[in-house]
Structure 1
Amino acid sequence: MRDVDMTATADDGLPLAGTLTLPAGAGPHPAVLLLHASGRLDRDGNTTSRHRMELGPPLAAALANNGIATLRYDRRGVGATSGDWRTTGFVDNRRDAAAALRALAGRSDIRADAIGVVGHSEGAVHAMSLGAGPGVAAVVLLAGFARPGEDALRWQAGMIARTLPVAVRPLLPLLGALAGRQLTRIKATSTDVVRVAGMRMNARWMREMLAHDPRPDLANIKVPVLAITGAKDVQVDPADLDEIRRLVPGEVRVHRIPDLTHPLRRDPGRASVRSYPRLLRRPVDPDLLAQVTGWLAQRLNESPR
C-alpha cells in the first residue's frame, strides 16, 4: 500500500487536493471515491484537532488490503484546497464530487469500469447522485437520508432536542420556535453567508440542502447499493433504510447496526450528540469497516473488464 498526492480539477478550475491510496501490485486497480459528511472537513473527515472523524485512513487501508484504491480530498477552503468553505454550496459539493470521480477514472492505474463511491451523511446523498449516473459500479451509503432535506433536518433537530439535559427541556418549545424563525429567515436569504445569533453561517449550503430531495436519484441507481445506518443515529433516521430499499430498483442491501451512532462508533449507552467527543477518541467501528470493504471487494474485484 502507498499514498500518492492527487489533484482533481473542479468545474471552475479549482484544484481539489487529495490523497490516492494504492494497493500493492501492478495496476490498473479497482477504486473507491470517499465522500465525507457536511462542514469544514479535510480529506480524512476531520474538522479540527479536537474533532477528528478519521474515516479516511482506516477505510483506505482496509480497501487497499483487498486490492482496491481510494481517493479522498480536502473540501474547498480546507487543508491544501483553496477557496472559502462558508460560501460553498451543497450543489458545489456535488459537482466537486463528480469532478473527483472523473479524475479518478482518467488515471491509467485505475480501472474506470470498477469504481465505487462511499459516502457518509452529506457524502452519502452525493453518492446517491453519482450512483444514478454513469461511471459508478457500486454505491455505499453510510447514514444517508432518503427524504427531502428540510424533513431530514427537522427530524434531526427533534431527536437532538430529546437528548438535551432534563433541566433544559422546559425551554424546548421556546427554542423550537426560535429555530423555526431562523430557518425561515435563512430560506428567504439570497446571499452565500448570513449571520445567525452573531455567527457567520453558510446560508447558500443550507438553502440548497433544504431543497434537495434524494429520492429521484435513489430511484435511478442501477448498480448494487449497500446502505448502513446505526440504530442509535440521532442525525439520520434509521427508518430511511426502508425507503432506500423501496426506491432502489436493482440490488440493494440494508443494515441497521445495533448501537452504531452517526460518527460510526458504537455506544451501548443512551444516544446523544453530547457523547461525540468521547466516541471520537475511539477508532471507526471495525465491524463496519469489514462489512463495507468485504462487500466492495466482492462487487469491484468481480466487475467485468
Structure 2
Amino acid sequence: MAVILPGSGPTDRDGNSALGVAASTYRLLAEGLADQGVATLRIDKRGVAASAAAGPAEADLRFDAYAADARAWAAEAASRAGKPCAWLIGHSEGALVALKAVQGGDDKICGLILLSGAGRPAGAVLREQLASLPEPTKTQAFAALTELEAGRTVADAPPALAALLRPSVQPYLISWLPLDPAALIAAYDGPVFIGQGTTDLQVSVTDAPGPGRRRPQGDPETLGRRQPRPENRPRRPRRQHGHLRRPRPAARAGRGGGRGGVHPGEWEALSSVAVVSGSPGRLSTPVI
C-alpha cells in the first residue's frame, strides 16, 4: 500500500496541472502499480482541484500542514488495507513532504520512494534557477530569499517575481526554505528508494538526496536509479522503455475528504480528496 504525494503548485492527484501539464503521470503510475498488485492512494492536496475547499487562505498555509496530511493519509490507507503501514511515494516537492512526514519517526509509514526530489535546501535550488535574471532583479531576488530564509517577510520584492515572492505566499516560503533534504534523509532510519531523471528541467541527478545518506544499521542500503526521462515535466511512458508499462484500467474505490484539521483514523476529517487504485484486502470496499 502506498500514498502518492504530488509535486508543487496546483498539481492534482492525477499529476495534471492548470498551468498546462496534462501527462496524468500519477494516474499512470497508480495503474501500473495496480497491475503489479500494489494498491495506491493518490490525493488532491489542500487547496487544489477537488480539495480546493479544504485549503486555508494562502497566507495561512505552512509546509508542516502537507507533512501532517501525508502522515494522516498513510495511517488511514494502512488501516483500510489491513496493513501495519503504508509507503509514501513523493514526487518533486512531494519528496520533501515525505521526508518531513517521517521526521521524528512514524510507524504507520513503511518507507519512502522519492522521485525527482531536490537534495539541497530550496533556497540553493532557487538561486540556481534565478541566476540568469538581469540586474538589478537578480540581486533583489537573492536578497529577498536571504530575508525569507532568516524568517523575515519582504515588503519590496521585485515586481517581476510577484508570482514567486508575493506577500501572501511568503509565510509558506519561510516554512519551506530552511528544510534540508540531506539532513532529513540522514536522520531517517527506514528504507528509501530514490529515482532521478537525467533530463529534468528543474533538478539534476546531482540533486538526488541520497549520496550522502547514512545507511541505517540492519536495513538495505539506499537504492537509486536514473531514468532517461525528466520527472518534473514527464511524458507518457513509451512501451519500449519499460519504465512503466501501459496498465489495465484501475479499480477506483470512491473519494474521501473534508474540511478542518487532520485526525488519523477519521476519514471524514482528512483534508484532501483521494482516489484509490487497486483493491487488495479491505480496500475492495468503497472509501467514503
Q: What's the TM-score, normalizing by structure 1? A: 0.65
Supply the AA of the counterpart residue of 1:120. H
Q: Distance in 1 between matches of 2:134 and 2:154?
A: 29
Does 2:125 align with 1:152? yes
Structure 1 unaligned residues grouped into runs of 5+: 1-30, 162-170, 266-281, 291-300
1:47 paired residue among 3, 6, 17? 17
1:96–1:245 distance in 2 versus 1, CA, 3 Å: same
Q: Does structure 1 residue 38 correspond to structure 2 residue 8?
A: yes
Q: Tell me by how many angstroms 1:212 deviates.
A: 0.8
Q: Deviations over 1:133-156 (max 9, x none)?
A: 222223211111222232232234
Q: CA distance change for structure 1 residues 188 and 247 in 2, over 3 Å: closer, same or farther? A: closer
Question: Map of 1:79-118 to 2, 5 A cutoff?
Answer: 79-81=49-51, 82=53, 83-84=55-56, 86-87=58-59, 88-107=61-80, 110-113=81-84, 115-118=86-89
Deviation at 1:94, TM superposition (A): 1.2
Where 2:143 maps in the other structure, the secondary structure is helix
Structure 1 residue 185 displacement after superposition:
5.2
| Structure 2 letter corresponding to 1:153 | L
Give the deviation of 1:186 after TM superposition.
4.4
Task: Kindly provide the amino acid, as one letter, of the partner of residue 263 in structure 1.
Answer: N
The DSSP-based 3-state class of the residue aligned with 1:113 is: coil
Letter of the 1:204 partner, please give it. Answer: P
Q: Give RMSD over aligned pairs.
A: 3.0
Paired with 1:211 and 1:178, the residues of 2 have a C-alpha distance of 19
Q: Does 1:263 align with 2:232?
A: yes
> Any idea what the Cα deviations from partners look like across 1:225-266, whole Å, max 9, x if unmatched?
21111122242231133x5133141421112333x224253x
Task: Work out whether residues 102 and 188 of structure 2, in 8 Å CA contact, stay in contact via their aligned partners in 1.
Answer: yes
- Whose strand proportion is higher, 1 or 2? 1
In the alignment, the residues of structure 2 paired with residue 111 and residue 195 of structure 1 have an alpha-carbon distance, to the nearest angstrom, of: 50
Task: Pick the aligned partner of 1:283 from 221, 232, 236.
Answer: 236
Of structures 1 and 2, the one with the larger relative CO (CA 8 A, separation 6+) is 2
- The counterpart of 1:244, out of the listed 183, 199, 210, is 210
* TM-score of the superposed pair, with normalisation by structure 2: 0.68
1:196: Cα distance to partner? 5.9
Q: 1:62, CA displacement in angstroms?
A: 0.7
**1:180 aligned onto 2:142:** yes
Contact residue 86 and residue 193 of structure 1 kept, 8 A = no
Q: Tell me the equivalent position of 2:274.
A: none
Aligned-partner Cα distance in 1 for 2:30–2:40:
6
| CA–CA separation in structure 2 for the residues paired with 1:238 and 1:66 | 27
Distance 2:138 2:19 in 1: 31
Query: SS of 2:90's equivalent?
Result: strand
Q: Secondary structure at the match of 1:145?
A: coil
Residue type of the alignment partner of 2:84: D
What SS is found at the alignment partner of 1:137? strand
For the 8 Å contact 2:90–2:97, the answer to whether it is kept is: yes
Residue 54 of structure 1 contacts residue 284 of structure 1 at CA under 8 Å; is this kept in 2?
Answer: no
Distance in structure 2 (CA, Å) of the matches to 1:63 and 1:235:
26
Alignment of 1:1-305 (within 5 A): 31-48=1-18, 50-81=20-51, 82=53, 83-84=55-56, 86-87=58-59, 88-107=61-80, 110-113=81-84, 115-131=86-102, 133=105, 134-158=107-131, 161=132, 172-184=134-146, 186-187=148-149, 197=159, 200=166, 201-241=168-208, 244-249=210-215, 250=219, 251-258=221-228, 260-263=229-232, 265=234, 282-284=235-237, 287-289=242-244
CA distances 1:79-113 after superposition (whole Å, capped 9, x unpaired): 22212462322221111111211221221xx1423
